[in-house]
């Protein structure tokens, strides 16, 4: 007999555990186990709803299903013309197959406001633990090794950009937030300090631009949604944003200056160090490859043209496009890029629709979702982290937002 409540609860806690373990490079067995349990139970819940043996899972809408299906199908089809079919097949399993299962798991998991807050709370708590661990290790004589607990500097910096929009739920009221009580606000301030401090450890420049884009997008949408409140108390709205952007700008300038001093001779102007960035000739090389196969690309997988790039540039570190959009064109051509862009547009259109509705709870979800996509895209203008743990986290968080947003929208309309 199908005991729906037990299955739903187990699926929620397995998804929460997987979300907590996902950003780390450790505990691989536990991460794989919780992923398998959460995805398997999600499929059971989905089938039970279709067959009438359980509650039917609401649809996210035709536009999202069609664009997600089309992009995934075209990526799979690239196996037919891939220059390395074995590599493409392995990447399709990891980046398409497992990502689709993660989407299903996290779309189903937020079945109630309590489940939603559980998942958001676990994501923020896990980030707090990882950030504290990074700072504590940095204070030891051996220093912080980002590849041991955090999957590397780049993935960890991208993880921070993905988590940052979730901080916006802390002051929000129920059912979407944590009611903004005094201790919740203090927790949020503490997490923001951890975010900024641990981001500084990475010496990554784009993380600051991405965080600025994230918070500026959130503020712009909130000001649009609650323009009356902004007009009544502009300083209350503008002061925190300006203070945060000033901090982000100052740290970005400091990181850029430090990178210039460490990578170039003394007294080299910062502008010259940016002009000498090795990604500029890399992008020129990728354009030559794109012109050779513009419509279909070379086959799915971030490193599909790694040998060609390393050989032509003479730099073993430049083995992929270092730009999310260029990478999509290289892998699946202009057709695949258009399908990927259509999926992002469908997601953004849904979140903007939430912002425009009367429900404040849906507006918060819309702001978080739009900020998450915006920050992730900006972070990946100089790299491509739609890959492994970052890709799973990106799709999982979007599915989480859509899953709860769809349920709230249905409840409000009924």
Tokens at residue 377, please? 């895209």
Neighbouring CB atoms inside 10 A of 333's CB total: 22
Average pLDDT for 42-70: 94
- pLDDT-based confidence at 53, cuts 50/70/90? confident
pLDDT-derived band at 246, boundaries 50, 70, 90: confident
Q: Which distant-in-sequence residues (6+ apart) come within 8 Å of 388 by Cβ?
A: 94, 95, 151, 155
pLDDT at 25: 86
Residue 270 has pLDDT above 60, yes or no: no
Q: How far apart are CA 199 and CA 219, in angstroms?
A: 21
CA–CA dist 130, 213 (Å, integer): 23
Q: What is the pLDDT of residue 271?
A: 58
Q: Is the pLDDT of residue 256 over 80?
A: no
Q: What is the pLDDT confidence band of residue 263, given thresholds at 50, 70 and 90?
A: low
Domain count, the chain: 1
User: Residue 309's pLDDT is what?
Assistant: 87
Assigned token pair, 45: 């819940």
Question: Using omega within 30 degrees of 0 as the cis cutoff, is the peptide bond preceding 53 cis?
Answer: no
Q: Which domain holds residue 11?
A: 4-413
Residue 97 is classified by DSSP as I
**pLDDT tens sequence across 218-228:** 999 999 999 88
**How much is the average pLDDT of 82-89?**
97
Average pLDDT value for residue range 345-353? 98
Share of the chain above pLDDT 90, in %: 73
Closest CA to 304 of 84, 106, 56: 84
Task: Judge contact between 319 and 310, C-beta under 8 A.
Answer: yes
Q: What is the mean pLDDT of the chain?
A: 91
Question: Which tokens sit at 351?
Answer: 């979140």
pLDDT at 1: 40
Percentages helix, strand, coil for the chain (3-state, rounded to 5) are 75, 0, 25
Q: Which of 102, 51, 104 is nearest to 386 (CA)?
A: 102
Report how far apart, in Å, the C-alpha atoms of 376 and of each of 45, 74, 80, 353 are: 30, 23, 30, 20
pLDDT of residue 104: 98
> For residue 297, which of 84, 89, 94, 67 has the smallest C-alpha distance?
84
Query: Is the pLDDT reported for residue 122 higher than 70?
Result: yes
* pLDDT band at 242; cut points 50, 70, 90: confident
Residue 80 binned pLDDT confidence (cut-offs 50, 70, 90) = very high
- Which of 42-48's residues contact partners 24+ apart within 8 Å by CB, and which partners? 42/11, 42/15, 42/101, 42/104, 42/105, 42/107, 42/108, 42/109, 43/101, 43/104, 44/7, 45/4, 45/7, 45/8, 45/11, 45/108, 46/104, 46/108, 48/2, 48/4, 48/7
Residue-wise pLDDT tens digits, 357-397: 999 999 999 999 999 999 999 999 999 999 999 999 999 99
């Amino acid at each position: 007999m199908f005991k729906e409540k037990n299955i739903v609860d187990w699926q929620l806690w397995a998804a929460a555990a997987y979300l907590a373990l996902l950003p780390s490079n450790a505990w691989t067995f536990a991460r794989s186990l919780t992923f398998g349990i959460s995805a398997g139970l999600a499929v059971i819940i989905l089938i039970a709803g279709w067959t009438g043996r359980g509650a039917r899972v609401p649809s996210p809408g035709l536009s999202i299903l069609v664009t997600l299906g089309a992009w995934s199908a075209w990526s799979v089809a690239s196996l037919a013309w891939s220059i390395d079919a074995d590599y493409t097949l392995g990447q399709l399993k990891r980046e398409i197959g497992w990502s689709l299962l993660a989407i299903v798991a996290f779309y189903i998991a937020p079945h109630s406001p309590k489940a939603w807050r559980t998942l958001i709370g676990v994501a923020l708590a896990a980030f707090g633990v990882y950030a504290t661990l990074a700072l504590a290790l940095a204070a030891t004589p051996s220093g912080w090794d980002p590849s041991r607990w955090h999957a590397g500097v780049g993935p960890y910096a991208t993880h921070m950009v993905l988590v940052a929009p979730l901080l916006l739920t802390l002051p929000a009221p129920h059912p979407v937030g944590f009611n903004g009580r005094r201790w919740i606000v203090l927790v949020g301030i503490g997490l923001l300090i951890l975010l900024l401090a641990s981001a500084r450890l990475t010496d990554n420049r784009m993380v600051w631009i991405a965080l600025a884009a994230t918070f500026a997008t959130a503020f712009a949408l909130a000001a649009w949604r609650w323009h009356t409140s902004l007009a009544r108390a502009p300083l209350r709205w503008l002061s925190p944003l300006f203070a945060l952007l000033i901090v982000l700008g100052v740290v970005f300038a400091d990181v850029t200056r430090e990178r210039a001093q460490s990578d170039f001779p003394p007294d080299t102007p910062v502008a010259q160090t940016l002009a000498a960035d090795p990604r500029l000739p890399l992008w020129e090389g990728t354009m030559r490859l794109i012109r050779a196969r513009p419509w279909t690309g070379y086959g799915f997988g971030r490193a599909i043209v790694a040998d060609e790039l390393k050989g032509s540039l003479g730099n073993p570190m430049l083995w992929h496009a270092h730009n999310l959009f260029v990478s999509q064109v290289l892998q699946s051509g202009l057709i695949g890029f258009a399908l990927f862009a259509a999926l992002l547009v469908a997601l953004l259109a849904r979140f903007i629709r939430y912002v425009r509705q009367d429900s404040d709870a849906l507006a918060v979800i819309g702001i978080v979702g739009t900020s998450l996509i915006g920050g992730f895209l900006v972070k990946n203008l100089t790299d491509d982290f739609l890959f492994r743990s970052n890709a799973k986290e990106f799709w999982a968080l979007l599915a989480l937002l859509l899953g709860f947003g769809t349920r709230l929208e249905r409840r409000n309309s009924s």
